[in-house]
């Protein structure tokens, strides 16, 4: 992240137009057409005015005048048609290209190593990259639009300077010098605006986006109302918005100074050029027709330069935003490597060798000096209080994290060397928080596209997971849509039903290693017992890792490991650990008493 490249403007323009050539290649042709049509029409009208004045002043033959007028008018009509074609094609094409770049960023986010998704620096990099695709006049689409404007006005300035040099080269030099001063002022204001309204407020923007999401996400609705959080949420957003507005105000003041300087320089330029042209007429060096032509050139040059300098400054700002986009997309996810195929085996053993792990930005270890082997076919229970290191262990096992120290082996091969997707295929995870997607039931079970989903198999897995009766109640059966985001008749699942859905997913994947990370934490004792009975029948002939701070799963496991403060403190079967009378035995006896009380209360009800 510290090796972030700084690309030059021209490199970022080429980068964006490579995307244009890939997604909307005809937009490049429109760019060329826009340059000639927009610039050409301005000067064709000037020549038309010149010849009309000379006809009146010098008596140009009428037939010749008609031919010139017809030729210039036809040229202008063609330019107008070209400009309309550019306007018609540019907007939808540029708008289409931007979402394609957004899709490229999404592709990067999906492929990013999971550990980096919890890294604040990576999240800041992601937030900055979003500026490049936020709307039509920034970043990606801004470069497309402003490049067309910039090239058009560069060509306009070129034509005007060529014409003015025929009269007095000092006129062209004076205009260019004043244009340079205007540009420096605008560029300063543009850079300061980006620094104030983007770079310095990344954390505030990210916080504001989070609280906006919380305020509008119905999942938070109950807590907000019952705990009366609306005041806190709104005041927090108001405070963040005030901070952002203060930065915007400072940026606007900078622009005010830049605009005042620009107006003064414009007045100086216009007055000086017109004074010189009038002097040349009085001195007999120019005719009236030439005055009309060159006065128009001065006006075109002045307007083009003013717009050119502003456009170039905006283009540099867009380039900086594209640089942020590229920094995120080209961020080297070094830890995600691994190109070796899985070692050939029917039964895989996973071994932790002196594994320690720190979260990014933390000094303390979440897991320290872990040595553990999971033989194939073993049912392992991982227990401990909250914060003991259980979830960190699971994420290391699943290769969502990489060890800070030590190594993890699969069949004797370091996980860092093994292709990540192939490794993921070995695991069927069941997490506490099941995420559902706005697809059909079948797709939510298979976690594949509609075309790749075997609906019959998905239905069978739902039935085996205990959702067979509910499946009969849903009108569209296995094709019933989930959630009510895309479909009004979408269904919502209860906590217990979600856990059964998680089991159905694991059944469908049919991987050799099953990982259950506190899947019953939100359930009562009876529901938990039912779920574990189903899990137990499902994992026969497979490796299984049960992670929980509740010990209902431990008695039918082959081995139990207990974590405390990030270290493995006890290991053995249930009977061995109970006989040992250590921390596990104390925790089990305490929870057994709680379960007995809970069951008694359930029976009484």
Residue 393, in any domain of the structure = yes
Structure tokens, 343: 């070692």
* Mean local confidence (pLDDT), 81-98: 65
Average pLDDT along the chain? 78
Domain shared by 414 and 443, yes or no? no
Tell me what pLDDT residue 52 has: 60
Look at the chain and report how many structural domains it folds into. 3
Domain shared by 121 and 169, yes or no? yes
Tell me what pLDDT residue 62 has: 63
Whether residue 506 contacts residue 514, with contact meaning beta carbons closer than 8 Å, is answered with yes
CATH classification at residue 282: 1.20.1560.10
H/E run at residue 393: helix 390-397
Question: What distance in Å separates the CA atoms of residue 514 and residue 516, rounded to the nearest whole number?
Answer: 7
Instruction: Name 490's Cβ contacts closer than 8 Å, sequence gap at least 6.
Output: 438, 480, 481, 482, 483, 484
Residue 343, in any domain of the structure = no
Domain shared by 531 and 580, yes or no? yes
* Mean local confidence (pLDDT), 468-496: 80
Domain shared by 231 and 296, yes or no? yes
Q: Answer whether residue 334 shows pLDDT above 60.
A: no
Q: Answer whether residue 598 shows pLDDT above 60.
A: no
Residue 2, in any domain of the structure = no
Tell me what pLDDT residue 53 has: 61
Domain shared by 301 and 447, yes or no? no
Predicted confidence band of residue 350 (pLDDT cuts 50, 70, 90): very high
Question: What distance in Å separates the CA atoms of residue 404 and residue 548, rounded to the nearest whole number?
Answer: 24
* Mean local confidence (pLDDT), 211-237: 73
- Residue 480 is classified by DSSP as P
Question: What distance in Å separates the CA atoms of residue 119 and residue 116, rounded to the nearest whole number?
Answer: 5
Residue 1, in any domain of the structure = no
Question: H helices within 198-229, ranges in order?
Answer: 202-216, 221-226
**pLDDT, tens digit (0-9, with 9 covering 90-100), for 172-207:** 677 777 777 777 787 788 778 878 887 777 778 777
Residue 340, in any domain of the structure = no
Q: Answer whether residue 57 shows pLDDT above 70.
A: no
For the residues of 28-95, what is the DSSP string, one character each?
Answer: HHHHHHHHHHHHHHHHHHHHHHHHHHHHHHH---HHHHHHHHHHHHHHHHHHHHHHHHHHHHHHHHHH
* Mean local confidence (pLDDT), 221-232: 70
Residue 299, in any domain of the structure = yes
* Mean local confidence (pLDDT), 208-215: 78
Domain shared by 172 and 132, yes or no? yes
Tell me what pLDDT residue 602 has: 47
Domain shared by 230 and 365, yes or no? no
* Mean local confidence (pLDDT), 380-407: 88
**pLDDT, tens digit (0-9, with 9 covering 90-100), for 59-88:** 566 666 676 667 666 666 666 666 666 565
Tell me what pLDDT residue 357 has: 92
Q: Which domain holds residue 128?
A: 9-331
Q: Answer whether residue 490 shows pLDDT above 80.
A: no
Structure tokens, 313: 């400054």
Question: H helices within 435-550, ranges in order?
Answer: 441-446, 455-462, 468-473, 495-509, 525-538
Predicted confidence band of residue 301 (pLDDT cuts 50, 70, 90): confident
Question: What distance in Å separates the CA atoms of residue 127 and residue 104, rounded to the nearest whole number?
Answer: 15
Question: 222 versus 456: which is more confidently predicted?
Answer: 456
Q: Answer whether residue 3 shows pLDDT above 50.
A: no
Report which listed range, 99-103, 373-377, 553-557, is most confident.
373-377
Q: Answer whether residue 298 shows pLDDT above 60.
A: yes
Tell me what pLDDT residue 355 has: 93
Domain shared by 275 and 410, yes or no? no
Q: What percent of the chain has pLDDT over 70?
A: 78
Q: Answer whether residue 2 shows pLDDT above 50.
A: no
Structure tokens, 314: 């905006």
Domain shared by 280 and 244, yes or no? yes
Tell me what pLDDT residue 568 has: 92
Distance from the first to the final alpha carbon of the chain: 58
Whether residue 218 contacts residue 224, with contact meaning beta carbons closer than 8 Å, is answered with no
Residue 193, in any domain of the structure = yes
Cβ atoms within 10 A of the Cβ of 577, count?
23
Domain shared by 279 and 365, yes or no? no
Lowest mean pLDDT among 59-68, 251-260, 495-504, 563-572: 59-68
Question: What distance in Å separates the CA atoms of residue 257 and residue 403, rounded to the nearest whole number?
Answer: 54
Question: 320 versus 112: which is more confidently predicted?
Answer: 320
CATH classification at residue 536: 3.40.50.300
Residue 501, in any domain of the structure = no
Domain shared by 448 and 589, yes or no? no
Domain shared by 293 and 402, yes or no? no
Give me the residue label for tokens 């431990």: 554
């Amino acid at each position: 992240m510290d090796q972030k490249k700084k690309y030059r403007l021209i490199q970022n323009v080429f980068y964006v137009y490579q995307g244009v050539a890939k997604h909307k290649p005809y937009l490049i042709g429109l760019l060329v057409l826009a340059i000639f049509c927009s610039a050409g029409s301005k000067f064709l009208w000037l020549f038309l005015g010149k010849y009309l004045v000379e006809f009146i002043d010098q008596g140009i033959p009428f037939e010749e005048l008609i031919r010139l007028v017809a030729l210039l008018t036809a040229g202008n009509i063609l330019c107008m048609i070209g400009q309309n074609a550019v306007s018609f094609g540019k907007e939808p094409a540029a708008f289409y290209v931007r979402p394609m770049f957004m899709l490229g960023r999404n592709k990067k986010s999906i492929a990013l190593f999971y550990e980096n998704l919890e890294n604040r620096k990576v999240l800041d990099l992601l937030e900055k990259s979003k500026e490049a695709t936020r709307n039509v006049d920034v970043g990606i689409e801004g470069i497309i639009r402003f490049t067309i404007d910039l090239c058009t006005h560069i060509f306009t300035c070129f034509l005007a300077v060529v014409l003015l040099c025929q009269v007095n080269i000092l006129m062209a030099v004076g205009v260019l010098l004043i244009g340079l001063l205007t540009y420096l002022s605008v560029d300063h204001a543009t850079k300061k605006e980006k620094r104030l309204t983007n770079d310095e407020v990344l954390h505030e923007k990210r916080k504001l986006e989070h609280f906006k999401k919380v305020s509008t996400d119905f999942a938070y609705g109950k807590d907000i109302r019952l705990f009366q959080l609306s005041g806190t949420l709104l005041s927090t957003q108001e405070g963040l918005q005030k901070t952002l507005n203060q930065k915007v105000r400072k940026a606007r003041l900078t622009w005010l100074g830049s605009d005042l300087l620009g107006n003064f320089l414009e007045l100086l330029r216009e007055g000086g050029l017109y004074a010189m042209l009038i002097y040349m007429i009085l001195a007999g060096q120019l005719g009236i027709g030439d005055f009309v032509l060159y006065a128009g050139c001065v006006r075109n040059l002045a307007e083009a330069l003013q717009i050119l300098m502003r456009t170039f400054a905006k283009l540099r700002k867009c380039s900086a935003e594209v640089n942020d986009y590229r920094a995120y997309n080209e961020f080297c996810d070094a830890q995600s490597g691994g190109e070796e195929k899985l070692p050939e085996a029917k039964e895989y053993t996973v071994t932790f060798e002196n594994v320690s792990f720190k979260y990014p930005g933390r000094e303390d270890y979440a897991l320290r000096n872990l040595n553990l082997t999971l033989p194939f076919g073993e049912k392992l229970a991982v227990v401990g209080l909250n914060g003991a290191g259980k979830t960190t262990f699971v994420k290391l096992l699943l290769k969502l994290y990489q060890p800070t120290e030590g190594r993890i082996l699969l069949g004797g091969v370091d996980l860092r060397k093994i292709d990540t997707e192939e490794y993921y295929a070995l695991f069927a995870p069941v997490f506490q928080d099941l995420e559902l997607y706005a697809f059909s039931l079948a797709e939510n079970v298979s976690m594949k596209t509609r075309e790749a989903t075997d609906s019959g198999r998905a239905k069978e897995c739902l039935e085996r997971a205990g959702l067979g009766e509910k499946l009969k109640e849903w009108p569209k059966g296995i094709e019933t849509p989930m959630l009510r985001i895309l479909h009004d008749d979408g269904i919502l699942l209860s906590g217990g039903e979600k856990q059964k859905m998680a089991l159905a997913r694991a059944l469908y994947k049919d991987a050799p290693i099953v990982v259950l990370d506190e899947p019953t934490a939100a359930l009562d004792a009876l529901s938990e017992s039912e779920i574990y009975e189903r899990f137990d029948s499902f994992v026969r002939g497979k490796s299984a890792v049960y992670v929980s701070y509740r010990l209902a799963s431990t008695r039918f496991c082959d081995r139990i490991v207990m974590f405390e403060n990030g270290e493995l403190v006890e290991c053995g079967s249930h009977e061995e650990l109970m006989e040992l009378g250590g921390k596990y035995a104390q925790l089990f006896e305490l929870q057994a008493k709680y379960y007995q009380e809970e069951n008694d209360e359930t029976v009484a009800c």
